[in-house]
Structure 1
Amino acid sequence: MKKTILCALLMISTCSVMAADLTVNLQIAGEKGALGEAGSVMISESRFGLVFTPNLKGLTPGLHGFHLHQNASCAPIEKDGKIIPAGGAGGHFDPAASNKHGTPWGDGHLGDLPPLFADMAGNATQPVLAPRLKMSDLKGLSLMVHAGADNHADHPAPLGGGGARMACGVL
């Protein structure tokens, strides 16, 4: 019995050393930079992929596009004479150069995550699973919440039609 308990404790402690959780603080994105705190997202590794557990507030109720972006920046940029909040994050994380927006379990951008759901009070707390991602994929990226829903296709709107960049955090 003691041997069984000791083995179980060793397995648990080994698992916790293998992959530490990562917490990312997100800020509301504005034309002049961060407008305030949106909350945080805890990222943990499971045998099924990465689990993103949000603790966000101040979002519009409903579904929101949720993505990893290619640069570790949430700074606004100017493009075609227009200021883009959190534009410094670049495009969706796509290390395989698929150039295709798709489902989190498909063959599109590796940074395509399941959508976030914000309740009627604007809080997002429901975890989402990214089955193709590992913790080692995250270095040098940013995490983005978009203003609208994402249909995980490039039709009828490009990049899933997720809308403006609403909240951003650097990993």
Structure 2
Amino acid sequence: MTEPNPDAAHPFTRASTSARWRSCGAGLIVGAILVTAGCTTDNDPPAITATSVFTGTPVPLTTGEIPGEPGHSPGGNVVSAGFADPEGAPAGTVTFVERAGFVEIQAHVSGLTPGFHGFHVHENGTCDPDSTAPDGNQTGDFLSAGGHLQADDHTGSPASGDLASIYVRDDGQGLLVTSTDAFTLDDLNNNGRGRAVVVHADPDNFGNIPTRYTLPDHSTVPDQQTQATGDAGPRVACAVVK
């Protein structure tokens, strides 16, 4: 009996393979592997090039195993609160997540005037509309929250509670994602008393007033009021975090 010729068993035979390898620029895609060949002889092995394949699935984010580690899933190291305007209407939310060596902040606001708004953590955990400031000198919305937070052993400007300004779009919505290493969640808890997070009516200039500008009394520029408040104006939304 004549033995079957294995090379004739399939159109893609050993002979046809050799012919393909001798072809210049021949290529074959097998699964996720791109096989390419230049001008080779029957004895030359084919050149194989692995290529990456895009599947549409994003690379997963690293998740920490313990609180305070970057990427750690929420679990005891997150605090959130809702903003309210002076009339008590909802005005968004704010979330603080403690990471390794810093705090990440995400704020969503709504119903505010388009443009930049000062955004700070204030010293007292109260959000009382039409209230008196702790020094007793002024009355206004959310003034009971006091001045900007200064964490222990921190003085000067910018204050610990000074954060990046939040931009509100023409539709009244705003989103801010930022971070700081100037305070911790324990500082926000304030022994259970909490802190106020305040959105202001105007942009915060962060005391950035060039020295070429002078005040009528020739006092230091920026003055104490600017250094303390950033000239961010009235308080238009407030949330208490603990």
Question: TM-score category by the smaller chain?
Answer: 0.7 to 0.9
Q: Secondary structure at the residue paired with 2:95?
A: strand
Q: CA deviation at 1:77?
A: 1.6
**Gap change, CA 1:137 and 1:67, over 3 Å in 2:** same
Which residue does 1:123 correspond to in 2? Answer: 173
Equivalent position to 1:24, from 58, 66, 81: 81
Matches of residues 37-56 of structure 1 in structure 2 within 5 Å?
Answer: 37-47=90-100, 49-56=102-109
Which residue does 1:133 correspond to in 2? Answer: 183
Which residue does 2:131 correspond to in 1? Answer: 77
Structure 1 distance, partners of 2:74, 2:91, is: 29
- Structure 1, unmatched stretches of 5+, are 1-10, 103-108
Matches of residues 90-101 of structure 1 in structure 2 within 5 Å?
Answer: 90-95=146-151, 96=153, 98=155, 100-101=156-157
Q: CA deviation at 1:17?
A: 6.8
Structure 1 distance, partners of 2:169, 2:101, is: 26
Give the aligned residue type for 1:24: A
Structure 2 distance, partners of 1:16, 1:132, is: 22
Q: Alpha-carbon deviations, 1:95-140, whole Å to 9, x = none? A: 3362x332xxxxxx11111111111212111312223222111112
Equivalent position to 1:146, from 190, 200, 203: 200
Q: CA deviation at 1:44?
A: 1.1
- How many residues align? The count is 150
Are 1:166 and 2:219 counterparts?
no
Q: Alpha-carbon deviations, 1:45-74, whole Å to 9, x = none? A: 233621211121011111111111111101
Q: With the length of structure 1 as denominator, give the TM-score of the two structures.
A: 0.76
**Between Structure 1 and Structure 2, whose CA radius of gyration is higher?**
2
Q: With the length of structure 2 as denominator, give the TM-score of the two structures.
A: 0.55
Structure 2 distance, partners of 1:119, 1:48, is: 32
Q: Secondary structure at the residue paired with 2:64?
A: helix
Give aligned-pair identity as a percent.
26
Give the aligned residue type for 1:89: A
Structure 2 distance, partners of 1:19, 1:54, is: 19
Structure 2 distance, partners of 1:81, 1:111, is: 22
Contact 2:132–2:144 (8 Å) recurs in 1: no
Structure 1 distance, partners of 2:99, 2:116, is: 24
Structure 2 distance, partners of 1:48, 1:41, is: 20
Matches of residues 7-22 of structure 1 in structure 2 within 5 Å?
Answer: 12-14=64-66, 15-16=72-73, 19-22=76-79
Q: Secondary structure at the residue paired with 1:161?
A: coil
Q: How large is the RMSD of aligned CA atoms in angstroms?
A: 2.4
**Gap change, CA 1:161 and 1:19, over 3 Å in 2:** same
Which residue does 2:145 correspond to in 1? Answer: 89
Give the aligned residue type for 2:139: I
Structure 2 distance, partners of 1:160, 1:45, is: 26
Structure 1 outlier segments of 4+, above 6 Å: none
